[in-house]
């Protein structure tokens, strides 16, 4: 096993250096999001691969990491199911590591979904495992002051805990649909909710935003309209760098999203099931084969577009 851990640090400069590792040599983040836990089980069951044991999921993540991490600049990987990949040295030392802090079960909150943090895994644990950043997923309704305020406080305190040991915090705010809200109404509010979340969260110590594309249906939107929405999102970030999340989009759609987001100022992407989803299989050997033959070419295409279109992470002055 390669020991990725380093001595603790708490300076802004060290935190910035950790953040810059996520962008590799070009400064553009081309990342794999493989920190899924409950959602991975849901995807597997949807694909007819039910009943996987925790040990089987750990082996699956090891195989996917082994194929995809070496061609990425960063990977998001959890300790619970991704620890085997870390212990096996499947994440090369040059690849930035982002580890999640949120517990699962946030969808059970209904119309007021709130993030809770893992009770057995803190920023110091991530640092000990060699992480370059921590991440918090944030169901978020910018139009619900009570829900948003509680999420804001969690971000503020978590950022402080990460910064105290020299780690940056990646925050992933994603709007969710209320039970009383029609799909059409939710789509109509999507851009406002995405941009509103960023504008509200900006003061709380976030080092990198991981954001959904601000137009709910790219195929139905004119390019100029989508690009304007991406530029409004970039403005709302107020200088905090941001990357695009995948949301399971098909490769051709995601390539266009990356191009538009990058043109507007995004610093890359952290994509998950849209990349590795086609590789899922009950047999780990088959999953590794599919990852090599299907996921790897898709990722290379996304990285090439990002490196042509996106803005590198800002370097310290």
| pLDDT confidence of residue 262 | 98
Q: Domain with 106 in it: what CATH number?
A: 3.20.20.70
Query: Is 1 contained in some domain?
Result: no
Which residues of the chain are under the pLDDT cut of 70? 1-11, 106-109, 316-317
Look at residue 263 and tell me if it is in a domain. yes
Residue 15 lies in a domain: no
Task: Give the global pTM.
Answer: 0.92
From first CA to last CA, the distance across the chain in angstroms is 35
Among the listed residues 100, 63, 57, 73, the one whose alpha carbon sits nearest the alpha carbon of residue 290: 63
Q: Could you tell me if residue 260 is inside a domain?
A: yes
Least Cα distance to 308 among 273, 271, 268, 275 occurs for 268
**Quick check: is 179 in a domain?**
yes
DSSP E strands: which ranges in the chain?
29-34, 74-77, 96-100, 133-139, 169-174, 208-211, 242-245, 268-271
- Any domain includes 56: yes
Residue 4 covered by a domain: no
Q: Using an 8 Å Cβ cutoff, are 28 and 307 in contact?
A: yes
**Domain tally, the chain:** 1
Instruction: Give the tens place of pLDDT for each residue, 258-291.
Output: 999 999 999 999 999 999 999 999 999 999 999 9
Structural domain span for residue 46: 24-309
């Amino acid at each position: 096993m390669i020991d990725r851990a380093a001595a603790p640090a708490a300076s802004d400069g060290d935190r910035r250096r950790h953040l810059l590792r996520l962008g590799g040599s070009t400064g553009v983040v081309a990342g794999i999001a493989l920190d899924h836990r409950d959602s991975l089980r849901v995807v597997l069951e949807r694909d007819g691969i039910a009943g996987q044991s925790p040990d089987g999921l750990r082996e699956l993540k090891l195989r996917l990491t082994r194929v995809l991490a070496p061609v990425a600049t960063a990977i998001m990987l959890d300790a619970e199911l991704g620890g085997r990949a870390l212990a096996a040295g499947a994440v090369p030392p040059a690849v930035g590591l982002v580890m999640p802090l949120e517990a699962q079960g946030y969808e059970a909150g209904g119309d007021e979904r709130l993030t809770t943090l893992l009770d057995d895994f803190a920023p110091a644990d991530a640092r000990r495992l060699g992480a370059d950043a921590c991440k918090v997923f944030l169901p978020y309704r910018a139009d619900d002051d009570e829900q948003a305020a509680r999420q804001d406080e969690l971000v503020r305190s978590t950022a402080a805990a990460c910064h105290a040991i020299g780690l940056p915090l990646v925050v992933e705010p994603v709007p969710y649909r209320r039970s009383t809200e029609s799909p059409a109404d939710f789509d109509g509010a999507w851009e406002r909710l995405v941009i509103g979340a960023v504008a509200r969260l900006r003061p709380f110590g976030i080092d990198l935003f991981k954001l959904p594309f601000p137009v709910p249906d790219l195929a139905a939107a004119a390019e100029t309209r989508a690009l304007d929405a991406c530029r409004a999102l970039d403005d709302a970030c107020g200088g905090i760098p941001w990357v695009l999340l995948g949301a399971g989009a098909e490769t051709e759609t995601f390539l266009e999203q990356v191009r538009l987001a990058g043109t507007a100022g995004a610093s890359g992407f952290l994509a998950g099931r849209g990349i590795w989803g086609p590789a899922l299989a009950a047999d780990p050997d088959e999953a590794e084969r599919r990852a090599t033959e299907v996921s790897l070419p898709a990722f290379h295409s996304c990285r090439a577009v990002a490196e042509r279109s996106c803005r590198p992470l800002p370097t310290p002055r």
